[in-house]
Amino acid sequence: MSIPIAPFPLPSEHPEIPDSAYELWTLCLTHHLQTPSPTFNSTSVPDPALSTFLSTYLAHSPPPTTPAQQSLKRKVITLLHRLFTLPSQIALPPPYTIPSFLRSLSTCFPRSRLLRTTLDTPPVWRRYETTVETMLRSVIAGKGAGSEGLEALFRFSRRAAETFLAGDDWVDLCVDNGHVREFRTAVLEVASSDTGRKGNWSLVTDRVYVLIGAAENPRVGGSAGKEKAFLKSLVEETSFVSALRKVSRETPEEGRVDALLVALERFGRPRVVRRKVVVEGMRDKGKGKMVGPSEEEEVEIMGKVATIRELFPDLGSGFLRRCLEAFNGDVEQVTSALLEESLPPSLVTADRSEEYIPPDTAPGAHAARAAPTAPAARAPAPQSTSKYTPAPITRRNKYDNDALDTLSPTTLRNVHVGRKNAALTADTLLTTNAPSKTSILSALAAISLDDDERDDTYDATDVGGAVDPTNDADPVPRPAAAVPDSNEDPAEKALWEAYRRDGAVFGRDAETRRSAGRRVLKGETGMTDEAIEGWKVMLEREPRRLRMLERRYGDVGGGGGGQTVVLESTRWSAPAEGEEDSGRGDRGRGGRIRGERGGRGGRGGRGRGGGNVAGPSGDKETMQGRAKKEASKGSRANHNRRDQRTKKMARGGAFPPPA
């Protein structure tokens, strides 16, 4: 049910309006704001009394000076925003879409960023695009009549400025009638980006260059006097050049705009704007720390609420603000939660038709959001009456609800301060569980101290293979004990052998799935076709797993077999008494078996060269070995030490040097 509301009186009656009347109007608007969406759409939107009050208020309202007037102004802005953001399927009645309503709106709230941003959004602009085009045709038909208030409209709505500037007839009308300020305002608003949209520099440069070309190159039978006079007034009488240069600063179009301004300066000397320096005394400006969301944040929240209400027109703005607060302002999460009915418990029982009511505050530019920093003698600013309070800050980390966080009785019994056993001393630690002398000596005896030769036993193991103890080509057999791998998986082994034998058995086509090899593999592993094919895919994606399987099972038929080869020690030890020395370990200093090949020296025999140089003096082989050793010293890395010693002794006078 709609409630009656009186229209706003004419300016001549404003001094006689008491504050109680403003409070009554505020109460009526609050009633409409708190109405649920279905009732608001069916009752408040078509209410003629409400539309009449809003139209008269926009046309006749004075600048607010009292708290009651300030409160009424905020209620009007909030109600207009709710009307603008109605779902697109709900049409606004004619009182809200006529040109006079839009003109009064831009004149009454020229600096309301909330309404300016809302009007320029695509869903809202589609409601008023036809209204602006009708206004443009009326101005052109009247040859300039009705141009009053266009500057305020251009500053209020950038899309309206683009609509007027895009028409050639309106630009020609500005040139003929000398409407320099309207043209300047339209160009600067189209180029600016204060409402979040990028400036339309293409339209700006095209319009200005068309005027410059018409002034420099007049049409046949025409005159360029009007264009030149218009551009001269635009450059000299207004701050168009400096303002356009400031707007284009630090933008990609800065170079193009600079060239445009150079061309404009040929028609006159740009006006230099000097700002007045106002010396202010030590007075309180009402500044302080920001409390609550800023104006930009409030605009962003309103836009998110309008986006969600396009999908859920029956939900109230207050309820949607609660949802955005619960999901950190994420529109997608809120939409998903509403569709899946997965809202937090605190929102499940909340009133879904609740509307948002901005808090009432005292007059002043910063009274609503700033904490006063003046002396204590000043009266404190009224506190906000908003019903929404920020959520308390809670500690969240990975140690929540652990044993030390909850401090249960069991945990407290196990907690101790300092050493758990204060009577424990160093002597007790040394005598408790100390290893015996016998075990220490046994461990030392197991360490080989004379095995300083290079052992090539593990060379094959380093490259991923294994030493084959049954190789017949090896003259010295090396038995090895095979220990089965406890981590062996029969199914994995069967898959690996099939993969190494024929990888085509893992194909994904129907023919491969019906093949005999696939049936055998499924019988050995007990796996489905999808699991077998997925095993191959994951194996080829994981090189580390492929190398692990190669080390575990080796090549199919290559002796791997899922067993680990245990290699015996190669350290030489003297044979036991009564036991034959098979030659194993009887190696020379080169790591080779003695008798087979020499050590560092010659081929066969014992020692460095051929023959035994340490044998009996009269032995034939001993003499041959000594002679060969004497002749080969120069090639055996001793660098002719005998001849060098002889030369040194000769220099000392012991005996003459050899010839």
pLDDT of residue 375: 39
pLDDT of residue 238: 85
Residue 80 lies in a domain: no
Mark whether 162 and 240 lie in a shared domain: yes
Residue 410 lies in a domain: no
Examine the fold and report which residue of 309, 328, 348 is the final residue of a domain before the chain moves on: 348
**3-class DSSP state for residue 423?**
coil
Examine the fold and report which residue of 566, 583, 600 is the final residue of a domain before the chain moves on: 566
Give the C-alpha separation, 592 to 164, whole Å: 102
CA nearest 164: which of 142, 190, 194? 190
Rg of the chain, C-alpha, whole Å: 49
Percent of the chain past pLDDT 70, that is, above it, reads 70
**What is the crossing angle of helices 254-264 and 201-216, to 10°?**
20
Comparison of pLDDT for 192 and 463, the residue scoring more = 192
Residue 579 lies in a domain: no
Residue 229 lies in a domain: yes
**3-class DSSP state for residue 86?**
coil
**3-class DSSP state for residue 130?**
helix
Domain that holds residue 191: 147-273
Residue 10 lies in a domain: no
Give the C-alpha separation, 48 to 93, whole Å: 9
- Maximum separation of any 2 CA atoms in the chain, in Å: 151
Percent of the chain past pLDDT 90, that is, above it, reads 2
Instruction: Quote the tokens at residue 284.
Output: 């309180």
Mark whether 267 and 305 lie in a shared domain: no
Let me know how long the chain is.
659
Comparison of pLDDT for 362 and 642, the residue scoring more = 642
Give the C-alpha separation, 324 to 345, whole Å: 15
Q: Among 32-36, 124-128, 536-540, 601-605, which stretch is predicted with the lowest mean pLDDT?
A: 601-605
Residues 202, 160 contacting (CB under 8 angstroms)? no
Mark whether 308 and 260 lie in a shared domain: no
Give the C-alpha separation, 518 to 505, whole Å: 6
- Flag whether pLDDT at 185 surpasses 70: yes
- Flag whether pLDDT at 500 surpasses 80: yes
Residues 488, 552 contacting (CB under 8 angstroms)? yes
Q: What is the mean pLDDT of the chain?
A: 75
pLDDT of residue 379: 41
pLDDT of residue 76: 92
Give the C-alpha separation, 363 to 74, whole Å: 11
pLDDT of residue 16: 87
Instruction: Quote the tokens at residue 497.
Output: 């052998």
CA nearest 66: which of 115, 21, 5, 7? 21
pLDDT of residue 489: 81
How large is the average pLDDT for residues 160-181?
87
How large is the average pLDDT for residues 584-591?
44
Residue 365 lies in a domain: no
CA nearest 330: which of 300, 353, 310, 287? 300
- Flag whether pLDDT at 128 surpasses 80: yes
- Flag whether pLDDT at 587 surpasses 60: no
pLDDT of residue 275: 54
How far is residue 66 from each of residues 22, 62, 69, 382, measured CA to CA in Å?
10, 11, 5, 14
Examine the fold and report which residue of 566, 583, 612 is the final residue of a domain before the chain moves on: 566
Mark whether 312 and 343 lie in a shared domain: yes
Residue type, 551: R
- Flag whether pLDDT at 386 surpasses 80: no
Model pTM score: 0.44
Residues 467, 457 contacting (CB under 8 angstroms)? yes
How large is the average pLDDT for residues 340-363?
75
Mark whether 151 and 261 lie in a shared domain: yes
Total structural domains in the chain?
Answer: 3
Give the C-alpha separation, 599 to 409, whole Å: 75
Residues 159, 214 contacting (CB under 8 angstroms)? no
CA dihedral 211, 214, 217, 222 (to 10 degrees): -160
Triad 594, 598, 601: Cα angle to 5°: 140
CA dihedral 176, 180, 185, 187 (to 10 degrees): 60
The band of 333, judged by pLDDT with boundaries at 50, 70 and 90, is confident
Mark whether 259 and 314 lie in a shared domain: no
Residue 110 lies in a domain: no
Mark whether 300 and 197 lie in a shared domain: no
Give the C-alpha separation, 572 to 570, whole Å: 6
Residues 164, 136 contacting (CB under 8 angstroms)? yes
CATH code, domain with 329: 1.10.8.10
Mark whether 223 and 314 lie in a shared domain: no
Residues 189, 197 contacting (CB under 8 angstroms)? no
Residues 604, 610 contacting (CB under 8 angstroms)? yes
Give the tens place of pLDDT for each residue, 514-555: 898 888 888 888 899 899 989 988 988 888 888 888 888 865
**What's phi and psi for 192, nearest 5 deg?**
-80, 165
Mark whether 207 and 316 lie in a shared domain: no
Give the tens place of pLDDT for each residue, 388-417: 555 566 667 777 777 777 777 777 777 777
Residue 476 lies in a domain: no
**What is the crossing angle of helices 48-60 and 99-108, to 10°?**
50
Q: Which residue has the tokens 């605190």?
A: 346
How large is the average pLDDT for residues 303-320?
86
Comparison of pLDDT for 430 and 154, the residue scoring more = 154
Mark whether 210 and 322 lie in a shared domain: no
Look up residue 373 and give its DSSP letter.
-
Task: Count H helices and E strands in the chain, helices first.
Answer: 31, 2
Residue 475, number of CB atoms within 10 A of its CB = 8
Instruction: Quote the tokens at residue 236.
Output: 């000299």
Q: Among 370-384, 387-401, 442-456, 463-477, which stretch is predicted with the lowest mean pLDDT?
A: 370-384
Mark whether 234 and 160 lie in a shared domain: yes
Give the C-alpha separation, 392 to 420, whole Å: 40
Mark whether 328 and 251 lie in a shared domain: no
